[in-house]
Amino acid sequence: MDSTVSIEGSVAPGFEAVAEAFGRNFSEHGEVGASLGIYLDGESVVDLWGGVADVGSGEPWTRDTLAVTYSVTKGATATLAHLLAARGEIDLDAPVADAWPEFGANRKGRITARDVLSHRAGLPVIDAELTREQLIDGVPVVEALVAQAPVWEPGTAHGYHALTYGWLMGEIVRRSTGRRLGELFAELVAGPLGIDFLIGAPPTDHARIARLIDPDPPEPAEIEAIPDPAARAQVIELIAALSDPDTLISRALNSNGALPTPDAAAWNDPRIFATEQPATNGVSNGSSLARMYAACVSEVDGVRLLDEETVAAATVEQSSGHDEVLLEDTRFGSGYMLLSPGCPMLSEASFGHVGISGALGFADHDAKLGFGYVQNQIGLGLTGEPRTETVIKALRAALET
């Protein structure tokens, strides 16, 4: 491990190489502050943290430090949605308009919650020009999504609903249950498991949320050094699309410039911490994330979130191939990412979600495993995410011995 960074926590025998890989992230991959959790058969086998939570103050990362996980939040929202569906409180395959009648306007009458979860609803962007204050409020976003038409015919293609996924699922849950998504997540998921995972963090928790750090922009030489010509061309295309405010990816990630994503200054705002944006603003740590996913595939201290039938249905591939927004191939079940180059996990039996920052949470059904990695240094990710890939490689080796 990097001797300049103090790594704390616990590691079960046989997982020492995983701890070493986590430590090397600080010396070899520019990690600043992070936490890692792994559960196996319902028991914690890795619970580590280290580095700095706030580079401005020098505050160290502790056991209680949380961080904005960006799109890792989508996996938590999906877990709640499947739990509610299993309880009969949401019908994922019924038209959203059954519970939210006005949503059916402008060719949206046949869109289902499963379409939203699998990024097939055709609503990856907000047509209205809204301010950041309106985005934080949320109600104007919901009204705008009601008024607009889909970008493509729902169900005929898929494209990453980077931010709209959260506003849509939040309103679907509210209309179906009469309660807020963040409130239900706390009651049905976080509370029973005793985990630190908040979708809408109260001011009393803001002091322990690590401050995100922007990455340095890529140098032309870094791009030219990508050995695979196809991968290099894809990176060049992506950078060009992100720099054009009219492309789907730019609009989806930036909400027409009102909430740039990823962007440390925008997302370090306490107003962002406090609102409910169930696609992107969940705050958690590695151990809590791993514990949540472990409870999707095994009992954790007597708690099992999703039964076998629910897991099987949730992980049926719904979307694959070219993503109309991200301009690369992606794979999704219902709310969860499936194993793909853009989402490195343990095996084909894994399901979870990455965050654009570099965070990652997933379960592996066959290994009965939950994994969580949370950090404050936003990753560049030109050809993958070396921090989580390095740890997963060591984890795979540990499980095979």
* 3-state class (DSSP) for residue 203: helix
Cα angle 68, 74, 75 (rounded to 5 degrees) comes to: 105
Residue 219 — pLDDT band, cuts 50, 70, 90?
confident
Indicate left, alpha or beta for 305 from its phi (over 0: left) and psi (-120 to 50: alpha): alpha
Q: Give me the mean pLDDT over the 8-25 stretch.
A: 98
Q: Is the peptide bond before 262 cis (omega within 30 degrees of 0)?
A: yes
- Tens of pLDDT, residue by residue over 370-382, are 999 999 999 976 5
Tokens at 370, concatenated: 């939950």
pLDDT of residue 357: 85
- Tens of pLDDT, residue by residue over 251-289, are 999 998 999 999 999 999 999 999 999 999 999 999 999
Half-sphere exposure of 126 (CA within 13 A, CB side): 29
Given a cut of 80, whether residue 4 has pLDDT beyond it is: no
Residue 77 — pLDDT band, cuts 50, 70, 90?
very high
* 3-state class (DSSP) for residue 151: coil
Compute the distance between CA of residue 8 and CA of residue 296 in angstroms, rounded to an integer: 27
* 3-state class (DSSP) for residue 306: coil
Given a cut of 60, whether residue 397 has pLDDT beyond it is: yes
pLDDT of residue 9: 98
Tokens at 353, concatenated: 């979600």
Specify the range with the lowest mean pLDDT, choosing from 39-43, 124-128, 224-228: 224-228
**Are the CB atoms for 220 and 226 separated by under 8 Å?**
no
Report the percent of the chain where pLDDT is more than 90: 91
pLDDT of residue 401: 85
pLDDT of residue 2: 44
**Are the CB atoms for 283 and 361 separated by under 8 Å?**
no
Q: How many CB atoms are closer than 10 A to CB 221?
A: 7
**Are the CB atoms for 67 and 209 separated by under 8 Å?**
yes
- Tens of pLDDT, residue by residue over 315-371, are 999 999 999 999 999 999 999 999 998 899 999 999 999 998 899 999 999 999 999
Sign of the C-alpha dihedral computed for residues 136, 138, 139 and 142 taken in this order:
positive
Compute the distance between CA of residue 234 and CA of residue 238 in angstroms, rounded to an integer: 6
51, containing H or E segment? strand 43-54
Given a cut of 70, whether residue 199 has pLDDT beyond it is: yes
**Are the CB atoms for 236 and 226 separated by under 8 Å?**
no
Compute the distance between CA of residue 92 and CA of residue 120 in angstroms, rounded to an integer: 13
**Are the CB atoms for 181 and 169 separated by under 8 Å?**
yes
What mean pLDDT is reported for the chain?
96
Compute the distance between CA of residue 292 and CA of residue 67 in angstroms, rounded to an integer: 16
pLDDT of residue 382: 55
* 3-state class (DSSP) for residue 364: strand
Given a cut of 70, whether residue 383 has pLDDT beyond it is: no
Give CA separation, 375 vs 59, 196, 211, 253, 308, in Å: 14, 15, 9, 20, 31
Residue 230 — pLDDT band, cuts 50, 70, 90?
confident
Tokens at 275, concatenated: 């609102």
* 3-state class (DSSP) for residue 183: helix
**Please, what are the domains in the chain?**
62-366+378-384 (3.40.710.10)
Specify the range with the lowest mean pLDDT, choosing from 146-150, 190-194, 370-374, 381-385: 381-385
Given a cut of 70, whether residue 290 has pLDDT beyond it is: yes
6 counts as catalytic: no
Q: Give me the mean pLDDT over the 75-83 stretch.
A: 98
Tokens at 288, concatenated: 């809590």
Given a cut of 80, whether residue 148 has pLDDT beyond it is: yes
pLDDT of residue 231: 86
Compute the distance between CA of residue 72 and CA of residue 260 in angstroms, rounded to an integer: 17
Q: Give me the mean pLDDT over the 73-82 stretch.
A: 98
Which of 44, 71, 284, 287 is an active site residue? 71
Residue ranges in 90-193 assigned as alpha helix (H): 113-117, 132-137, 139-147, 164-177, 181-185, 191-193
Q: Give me the mean pLDDT over the 29-43 stretch.
A: 97
Q: How many CB atoms are closer than 10 A to CB 342?
A: 17
Given a cut of 50, whether residue 1 has pLDDT beyond it is: no
pLDDT of residue 123: 98
